[in-house]
């Protein structure tokens, strides 16, 4: 088993006396593996999230241990070193149903969505096809043909558009394109990740996100990056991104978007906890961009901010997410 050393100031020794936090008896969890890191492009984000979750669980009294990546986790599980798994891996190999399937085979409880929900949540093209078929509004899109040129894509789909890898997160590989030259660069960048590429109509407007915890839809956050594009720096590094809670939507608008977000989450078989990203165009029309079944838990992350708005502090949030591993799978 490979464990990750933390800064002593952020790590706390586990309290195994069985304290009760927010109505949850931590003794029910047993020994918990917090799996983080891995080998995807989101490794660093996963390490940031995982270290925060590990510290939060330990402060709450959970016997938790860090494990780096799925392969190290599976080898330790075969030795029966853990009772359940808190998955905080981001991207392919941890968030796409692969690890979830292995844990199902080993009959090891884990947090978050199951195999199908994880796989569909990671696959932007297929999740959008499901939403489209169900009448859930999502921007017009196409899967870019493997050999398609920038000129033919612009001719067939028109500008402006967004190019993104279908199975990456944290804005890796995304390009906003207003010219054919930008499309050319964007195709090269998105194809660098090796999987299918999604071309999506660029929605001009405001960005919002809706966090889901169990069956509870948390308050909507209006995300206002200084650069007008919510890229990696704006998500994880900048202190200038404005996170507005309340969102500024009317009560009626907020309730309608929340209801649609839960419907979109359910449509792809997601469960436990997650986040759905939304755009409102300049006319107020709502468009669902993607679902995230294993969101970030860093100091800048959105689910902790939404939870805090309803009085759920970070350590209690970690416990609530861990409690999803106690629920029977569908």
Rounded mean pLDDT, 316-320: 95
Triad 8, 31, 322: Cα angle to 5°: 85
251 is catalytic: no
Distances in Å between the Cα of 156 and the Cα atoms of 10, 91, 144, 151, 176 are 52, 30, 11, 9, 17
236 is catalytic: yes
75 is catalytic: no
Q: Is the pLDDT of residue 293 over 50?
A: yes
170 is catalytic: yes
What residues have CB less than 8 Å from 199, skipping those under 6 apart?
141, 142, 143, 144, 153, 157, 161, 162, 163
Domains belonging to the chain, first-starting first, are 20-120 (3.40.50.20), 141-201 (3.30.1490.20), 204-309 (3.30.470.20)
Q: Is the pLDDT of residue 241 over 50?
A: yes
110 is catalytic: no
The two beta strands, 63-68 and 31-36, are parallel
Write the pLDDT tens digit of every residue in 38-49: 888 888 999 999
Residue in 46, 170, 301, 325 annotated catalytic: 170
- The least confident of 89-98, 269-278, 310-319 is 89-98
For residue 228, what pLDDT band results from cuts at 50, 70 and 90? low
Q: Is the pLDDT of residue 1 over 80?
A: no
Query: pLDDT value at position 306?
Result: 97
Residue in 68, 208, 296, 325 annotated catalytic: 296
Residue in 51, 63, 206, 277 annotated catalytic: 277
290 is catalytic: yes
Picking from 229, 203, 119, 122, the residue whose alpha carbon sits closest to that of residue 166 is 122
Residue in 269, 275, 287, 301 annotated catalytic: 275
Residue in 37, 41, 42, 271 annotated catalytic: 42
Q: Is the pLDDT of residue 13 over 80?
A: no
168 is catalytic: no
Please, what is the average pLDDT of the chain? 87
Residue in 292, 294, 301, 325 annotated catalytic: 292
Q: Name the more confident of 178 and 326.
A: 178
Helix (H) or strand (E) holding 165: strand 161-165
Tell me, letter by letter, the H, E, C secondary structure of 61-76: CCEEEEEECHHHHHHH
For residue 17, what pLDDT band results from cuts at 50, 70 and 90? very low
Distances in Å between the Cα of 217 and the Cα atoms of 6, 226, 270 are 32, 27, 13
Q: Which two tokens stand for residue 82?
A: 């853990």
Residue in 110, 208, 236, 287 annotated catalytic: 236
Query: pLDDT value at position 239?
Result: 62
For residue 78, what pLDDT band results from cuts at 50, 70 and 90? confident
Write the pLDDT tens digit of every residue in 89-98: 998 888 999 9
Residue in 290, 294, 301, 315 annotated catalytic: 290
Write phi, then psi, for 108 (nearest 5 degrees): -105, 120
Query: pLDDT value at position 166?
Result: 84
Query: pLDDT value at position 67?
Result: 95
For residue 12, what pLDDT band results from cuts at 50, 70 and 90? very low
277 is catalytic: yes
Write the pLDDT tens digit of every residue in 191-224: 888 788 999 999 999 999 999 999 999 999 999 9
Radius of gyration of the chain (CA): 20
- Backbone torsion region of residue 44, taken as left when φ is above 0, otherwise alpha when ψ lies between -120 and 50, otherwise beta: alpha
Write the pLDDT tens digit of every residue in 126-172: 999 999 999 999 999 999 988 899 999 999 888 999 999 887 765 67
For residue 327, what pLDDT band results from cuts at 50, 70 and 90? confident
95 with 118: CB under 8 angstroms?
Answer: yes
């Amino acid at each position: 088993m490979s464990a990750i050393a933390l800064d002593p100031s952020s790590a706390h020794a586990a309290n195994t006396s069985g304290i009760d936090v927010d109505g949850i008896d931590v003794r029910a969890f047993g020994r918990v593996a917090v799996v983080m890191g891995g080998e995807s492009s989101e490794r660093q984000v996963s390490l940031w999230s995982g270290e925060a979750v590990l510290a939060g669980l330990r402060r709450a009294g959970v016997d938790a241990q860090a494990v780096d990546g799925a392969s190290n986790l599976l080898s330790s599980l075969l030795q029966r070193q853990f009772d359940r798994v808190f998955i905080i891996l981001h991207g392919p190999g941890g968030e796409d149903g692969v690890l979830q399937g292995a844990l199902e085979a080993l009959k090891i409880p884990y947090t978050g969505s199951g195999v199908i929900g994880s796989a569909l949540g990671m696959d932007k093209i297929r999740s959008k096809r499901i939403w489209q078929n169900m009448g859930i509004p999502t921007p017009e899109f196409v899967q870019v043909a493997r050999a398609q040129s920038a000129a033919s894509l612009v001719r067939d789909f028109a500008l402006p558009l967004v190019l993104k890898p279908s199975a990456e997160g944290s804005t890796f590989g995304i390009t906003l394109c207003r010219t054919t030259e930008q499309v050319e660069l964007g195709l090269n960048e998105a194809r660098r990740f090796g999987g299918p590429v999604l071309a999506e109509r660029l929605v001009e407007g405001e960005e919002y996100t809706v966090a889901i915890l169990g069956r509870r839809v948390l308050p909507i956050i209006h995300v206002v990056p200084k650069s007008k594009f919510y890229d990696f720096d704006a998500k994880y590094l900048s202190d200038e991104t404005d996170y507005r809670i309340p969102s500024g939507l009317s009560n009626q608008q907020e309730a309608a978007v929340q209801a649609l977000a839960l419907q979109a989450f359910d449509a792809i078989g997601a469960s436990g906890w997650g986040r759905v990203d939304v755009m409102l165009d300049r006319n107020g029309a709502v468009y669902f961009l993607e679902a995230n079944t294993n969101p970030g838990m860093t100091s800048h992350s959105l689910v902790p901010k939404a939870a805090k708005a309803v009085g759920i502090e970070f350590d209690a949030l970690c416990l609530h997410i861990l409690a999803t591993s106690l629920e029977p799978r569908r």
